Amino acid sequence: MWMMFEAVVLNLTVRIHDSHRSPFSTESTPLAAGAAMLRLRSCILTRLLSSPSSASPISPLHRLLSAVAADPSPAFAVEQYLVDTCGLTRPQALKASTKLSHLKSPAKPDAVLAFLADLGLSSADVAAAVAGDPLLLCADVDKTLAPVVAGLTGHGLSRTEVARLVSLGRTIFRCRSIVSNLPYYLSLFGSYENLQQLLKQCPELLGCSLEKVVKPNVAFLRECGLGDCILSKVHLSTPRILSTNPDRLPAMVACAEGLGVPRGSPMFRHVLYAVARVGEDKIPAKVDYLKKTFRWSDAEVGIVACKNPQVLSRSKDMLQRLSEFFISEVGLEPADIAHRSVVLTYSLESRLKPRYYAVKFLKKNGLLKCFPSYSTIFNMTDKVFVERYICPHKEAAPHVYEDYVAACKGEVSTRFLSA
């Protein structure tokens, strides 16, 4: 009887273990089965020994084994699975697990992971895909993922390119419409590389309605003479413009024109990009803020918008700090800033201030005959600046190089501040 008991328990334990073991697990099956068998045998023995002595041990044994086999498996530890099997960090797993609380077993996630591994995704790619789209683990391999992959490869994408698309970690891979939309986007942007660059910024573009959203926007842009210049040069705001509500696009174009930049201008598309980032409804308030903060006229704001439209998307806090630096500390006139507005696109902490303090220090200590043009010192590359203004004075001012490097990291020395 006990030999039969051992055989049944071992068989049952291995079956239970194998049914829940991930195909990616590296644990030893015999060891795991042995440990599980010992736990199960202990449980059964306890129940048998506590049964009445007059009762036959066979009947309780069958009843107990049947009950154990029928018992539901332990609750699926989603968060731990995401860490151990999918490679997510603990914070990523905690966040992703909130969307997967309905999972009761690893069966479907295991199938998805096996499919992704066969597709060629590395462990890092799998982690990125799952972290970006946790519900990918719930997708049906046969009904959703396999048909999407087959459709994409049927349109000319390699399995490696499909794998890169999956690794972006967006819901579009679970959307069957991306297969039918792909040929249009490939013809629109000219190559998969251009398309992938856009999808990194706005992957939802591939799932947008072509007939209701994208095609009307492309047609309007071409009517305005903007289609080719926007579509031929990939920009991070391009998908934002193409996926916007078609009713908004004319307002965005009108807003860009209202800044004093005509449609035919080479800079118009850049102004339109800035409007897309900020929002056409927020541009008037941003213009008023620029006029107040930098003491500019409408014409000067137009000059800035035409030359360096990215200034429009800088935060109010940064614009205020730039104004205080250039007007109050450096002493530039508002008109000079408007005509040399590229300086407003540079980093205040790691570029503008360190260079200003370094040159001011050199001038105060007689190492420069005259103060150079601000546009000169701010516009040159860091390598050229160091070679021209720092290296020649290392002997006369031994600490100037280390003070400059520290200032670029936000640590301004007292030597620089007192200059």
How many CB atoms within 10 Å of residue 331?
Answer: 9
With respect to residue 355, please indicate whether it lies within any of the assigned structural domains: yes
The answer to whether residue 245 scores a pLDDT higher than 50 is: yes
User: What is the structure's pLDDT at 199?
Assistant: 73
The CA distance from 357 to 370, in Å, is 15
pLDDT digits (tens, 9 = 90+) for 86-128: 999 999 999 999 999 898 999 999 999 999 999 999 999 999 9
The answer to whether the CB of 356 falls within 8 A of the CB of 332 is no
pLDDT grade, residue 228 (50/70/90)? Answer: confident
pLDDT at residue 74 in the model: 63
Q: Last residue of a domain, which of 14, 40, 70? A: 70
Virtual torsion, Cα 370, 371, 375, 376, nearest 10 deg: 50
Q: Report pLDDT for 371.
A: 83
pLDDT tens figures, 1-20: 444 444 444 444 444 444 44
267-304 pLDDT tens trace: 888 899 899 999 999 999 999 999 999 999 999 999 99
Domain stops at, among 70, 90, 112? 70
pLDDT at 29 over 60: no
Domains contained in the chain, number = 2
Specify if 307 maps to a domain. no
**CA–CA distance, 275 with 271 (Å, rounded to integer):** 6
Percent of residues, the chain, with pLDDT higher than 90: 53
pLDDT of residue 316: 95
How confident is residue 234, by pLDDT bands cut at 50, 70 and 90? Answer: low
pLDDT, the chain, mean: 82
Least confident of 30-39, 123-132, 150-159, 235-244: 30-39
- In-domain check, residue 369: yes
Q: Please tell me the predicted confidence (pLDDT) of residue 3.
A: 45
* 187-211 average pLDDT score: 80
The more confidently predicted of residues 172 and 105 is 105
Burial zone of 402 (CB within 10 Å; 0-12 exposed, 13-18 middle, 19+ buried): exposed
Is 401 within a domain? yes
Mean pLDDT of 194-212: 80
Per-residue tokens: 13: 């334990």
pLDDT at 308: 93
43-92 pLDDT tens trace:
443 444 444 444 444 455 444 444 444 445 567 899 999 999 999 999 99
- Which pLDDT score, from 0 to 100, does residue 337 have? 96
For residues 123 and 101, is the Cβ–Cβ distance under 8 A?
A: no
- What global pTM score does this model have? 0.65
Average pLDDT estimate for 333-353:
95
So what's the pLDDT on residue 179?
Answer: 86
> Does residue 120 sit within a domain?
no
Q: Tell which of 25, 41, 70 closes a domain.
A: 70
Place of tokens 């620089």: 416
Flag whether pLDDT at 190 surpasses 90: no
Give residue 19's pLDDT. Answer: 46
Rounded Cα distance between 107 and 21, Å, is 9
Q: Is residue 340, in this structure, part of any structural domain at all? A: no
Residue 33 lies in a domain: yes
* Residue 43 domain-assigned (yes or no): yes
Domain that holds residue 376: 348-417
